[in-house]
C-alpha cells in the first residue's frame, strides 16, 4: 500500500497486534511500518496517516537521510564513494573516491586501518596520563557502545565502527576508557580526569552521542 505526502510516494504496511495504541516507524528501506490495534479499520488507519502527515514526513526525510548515510563508506569522519575495479591491486584514495579490487579488499583495508589508527591514537592519548597500566587493545563491532574498559583483564575494547568518526572523537573514546583505570564509575572525579585531558570533552561527547 502507498500514499502521497508532498512529492513523496511512501510505501506502508499495517501490522495488527494486541496493543492499545498505534505506532509509526520506518524500516531500513524507508518503508512505513504501522503497528495498530486489531480493532482499528483500514479507513481509520488512513485517517490517522492524514492527521499525522507532518510528523510522518519528518520521519520519512530522516529515514532517507539515514539510508543515504549508511550506504556511504565513512572513514575518519569523511564520506567516500567506493568503486570496484578488478584491475586494481592496491586500494587507492583520490578525493572523495575509493577504488579497490572488491568488497574483500575494502574490508581488509578497513580492518587494517582500525588497528593502525586506534594504536596510533592510543599512544598519543597515553601522554595525558601518569602511571597508566599496560593494557591490550581489542577491536570488535558493538551495537550499543563505542568502547569498553575491563580493568581486571587490563583490556580496552574499541568499536570498529569508531573508525568512521573523525580522529577527535576517536580520541575522546580512548580517553574515556583509559580514565576507567583510575575511576571505575562515571563519578564527578571521573569527569574531572577526562576534562584535564580533553577540556572540550562535552562537545565531543555530544557530537559522538556517546
At 95 the pLDDT is 94
Question: H helices of the chain, where?
Answer: 42-51, 53-71, 103-126, 167-179, 188-197, 201-208
What's the mean per-residue pLDDT of the chain? 92
Neighbours of 130 (CB within 10 A): 7
Give residue-wise pLDDT tens across range 32-69: 999 999 999 999 999 999 999 999 999 988 888 766 65
Q: Is the pTM of this model over 0.75?
A: no
Whether the pLDDT of residue 71 is over 70: the answer is: no
What span, in angstroms and rounded, lies between the C-alpha atoms of 182 and 129? 10
Q: What is the chain's alpha carbon radius of gyration, rounded to the nearest angstrom?
A: 23
pLDDT at 166: 96
Please report, for residues 33, 34, 101, the alpha-carbon distance to residue 113 in angstroms, rounded to integers and kept in the order given: 38, 41, 17
pLDDT, position 143: 84
| Residues with Cβ within 8 Å of residue 121, at least 6 apart in sequence | 167, 170, 171, 174
144-155 pLDDT, tens per residue? 899 999 999 999
Which cell is 159 given? 568499536
Alpha carbons within 13 angstroms on the beta-carbon side of residue 144 total 0
Q: What CA–CA distance (Å, rounded) separates 47 from 102? A: 48
Tens of pLDDT, residues 167-204: 999 999 999 999 999 999 999 999 999 999 999 999 99
CA distances from 17 to 31, 44, 179 (A): 19, 15, 46
Listed in sequence order, the residues at least 6 apart from 67 whose beta carbon sits closer than 8 Å to its beta carbon are 28, 29, 30
Residue 209's pLDDT band (boundaries 50, 70, 90)?
confident
Strand, helix or coil for residue 160:
helix
Residue 114 pLDDT exceeds 80: yes
Pairing mode, strands 97-100 and 92-94: antiparallel
Cα 38 to Cα 18, 137, 184, distances in angstroms = 6, 51, 48
Number of residues assigned to the chain: 210
Q: pLDDT value at position 113? A: 98
Q: Give the three cell numbers for residue 4.
A: 502521497
Q: What is the pLDDT of residue 70?
A: 52
Average pLDDT estimate for 107-134:
96
Q: What is the pLDDT of residue 183?
A: 95
Domains located in the chain, CATH noted = 2-71 (no CATH), 117-208 (3.30.2010.10)
Amino acid at each position: 500500500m502507498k500514499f502521497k505526502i508532498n512529492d513523496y510516494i511512501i510505501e506502508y504496511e499495517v501490522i495488527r497486534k494486541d496493543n492499545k495504541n498505534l505506532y509509526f516507524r520506518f524500516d531500513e528501506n524507508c518503508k512505513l511500518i504501522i503497528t495498530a490495534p486489531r480493532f482499528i479499520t483500514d479507513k481509520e488507519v488512513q485517517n490517522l496517516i492524514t492527521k499525522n502527515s507532518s510528523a510522518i514526513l519528518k520521519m520519512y526525510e530522516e529515514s532517507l537521510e539515514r539510508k543515504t548515510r549508511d550506504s556511504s563508506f565513512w572513514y575518519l569522519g569523511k564520506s567516500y564513494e567506493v568503486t570496484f575495479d578488478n584491475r586494481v591491486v592496491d586500494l587507492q584514495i583520490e578525493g572523495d573516491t575509493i577504488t579497490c579490487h572488491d568488497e574483500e579488499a575494502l574490508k581488509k583495508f578497513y580492518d587494517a586501518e582500525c588497528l593502525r589508527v586506534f594504536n596510533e591514537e592510543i599512544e598519543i592519548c597515553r601522554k595525558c596520563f601518569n602511571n597508566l597500566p599496560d593494557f591490550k587493545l581489542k577491536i570488535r563491532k558493538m551495537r550499543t557502545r563505542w568502547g569498553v574498559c575491563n580493568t581486571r583483564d587490563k583490556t580496552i575494547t574499541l568499536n570498529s565502527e569508531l573508525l568512521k568518526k573523525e580522529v577527535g572523537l576517536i580520541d575522546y573514546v580512548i580517553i574515556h576508557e583509559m580514565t576507567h583505570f583510575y575511576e571505575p564509575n562515571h563519578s564527578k572525579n571521573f569527569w574531572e580526569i577526562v576534562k584535564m585531558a580533553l577540556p572540550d570533552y562535552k562537545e565531543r561527547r555530544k557530537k559522538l552521542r556517546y
